Amino acid sequence: MRVLGIETSCDETAAAIVLREADGAGHILSNVVLSQLAEHSAYGGVVPEIAARAHVEALDTLIARALAEAGLGFDALDGVAATAGPGLIGGLLVGLMTGKAIALARGLPFVAVNHLEAHALTPRLSDAVTFPYLVLLVTGGHTQLVAVSDVGRCERYGGTVDDAVGEAFDKAAKMLGLGWPGGPAVEKRAARGNAAAIDLPRPMVGRSGADFSFSGLKTALRIEAERRAPLDEATISDLCASFQAAIVDCLVDRTGHGLQRFIEETGERRPILVVAGGVAANSAVRRALEGFAESHDARLVAPPLDLCGDNAAMVAWAGAERLARGLTDSLDAPARARWPIDEIRTA
C-alpha cells in the first residue's frame, strides 16, 4: 500500500509517500522536509504561532512535491496519515485537518499518528527490525525508554522527570551563546574541547529504574560557566565537551537499566536496542551506544540521519503499519498536545 504522511507537530513541515509491501518491507518513495530554522532562530526557540502559520503557507506545496517526486497522483494512494500529537496544538491542527480533507475528498482511510510511535517504528522502515525491541527515544521534548512489542503496544520503562535531553542541549547552547538549535552547536564545539576538563554531575546514574533527569546538570553547567566568566573560546569548547560527556554517561547508564528489564521480561538472548529521535543524530551518543550494545551482546539500530529528526516518512510508515492491521481513525480524531506513547489505541 502507498500512504501519504503529513508531519506538522513542531517546526518542520513535511510530507512523504511510503510504500509498504505485503511482506512488511518498506520503501520511501519521497520524503520532503521544510525547516523553519530561519523563522525561529531570532527568538532562540520555536514560536508556536509562527510555526503554525508557516505550516499553513507551505504544506500544500510540500504535498504536491512529495507526490511529484514519488511519480504518483492522489488516485494512487491507499491511505493518508497525519501526526495528531503530541506537539504544538496549532501546528498539529494544520496537518491533521489537511490530512482529513484529503482522505474525505478521495475516499481514503485515515490514520491519526502518534508522533512518538512514528519515531519508535522508524527502524522497521529503515532496517526491517522485528518485534520486540527496546527504544531509547531522545528528542527535543521527550526522553524515554520504551519496550515495543507490536504496533500500538508500547510499554514505557522510564522517562525524564524534568528536561528532555534535546531541551537540555538547547538550553546549554543558549547559556553559552551558541544560538539555536542547540544540539548541533554543542556537538560541534564539544569536538574541539576536553571532556575531562570540567567535572559535571551525572544525575540518576546508579539509581534503580530507568528514569532520566537533566535539569540539575544544566544548572551545574551554568554555575561552572559563571565561575569561569568571561568565557574564552577554549573554555566554551571544554564546557560543551564536558556537558555532552555527562549526558552520554547518563543515557548509557539508564539504558543499561532498561535493557536489563527488557531481557528479563522478553527472554531475548540478543536484544535489539534502537535509538530514535533528533538527538539520535549526535555522533557521541551513537558511538557510546554502539560500545554499550557490543559489550552487552545487543544489536544497536540507529536510523539514517535524515530519519532521526522530524519527518513525514516515519508518519506515513506508522500509518501504513496500522492500516496493514486494519486500524483506522474517524475524521473526528482530535489533535492532542499531550499523548503518551503507552496510551495509543490498539484496536
Do you know the residue count of the chain? 347
pLDDT at residue 45, rounded to an integer: 78
Instruction: Tell me the pTM.
Output: 0.95
Residue 347 has pLDDT above 60, yes or no: no
Beta bridge partners of 26: 20
pLDDT at residue 41, rounded to an integer: 76
Q: Within 13 Å of residue 1, how many CA atoms lie on the same side as its CB?
A: 21
pLDDT tens readout for residues 293-335? 999 999 999 999 999 999 999 999 999 999 999 999 999 999 9
**Residue 346 banded pLDDT, cuts 50, 70, 90:** low
In the chain, where does the domain assigned CATH 3.30.420.40 lie?
2-124+309-343, 131-302
Contact 69, 30 (CB under 8 A): yes
Q: Which CATH number fits domain 2-124+309-343: 3.30.420.40, 3.30.1490.480, 1.10.357.10, 3.40.1440.10?
A: 3.30.420.40
- The CATH number given to 131-302 is 3.30.420.40
How many Å apart are CA 166 and CA 176, to the nearest integer? 16
pLDDT tens readout for residues 11-48? 899 999 999 999 999 999 999 999 877 787 777 778 88
Beta bridge partners of 134: 147, 273
pLDDT tens readout for residues 111-144? 999 999 999 999 999 999 999 999 999 998 999 9
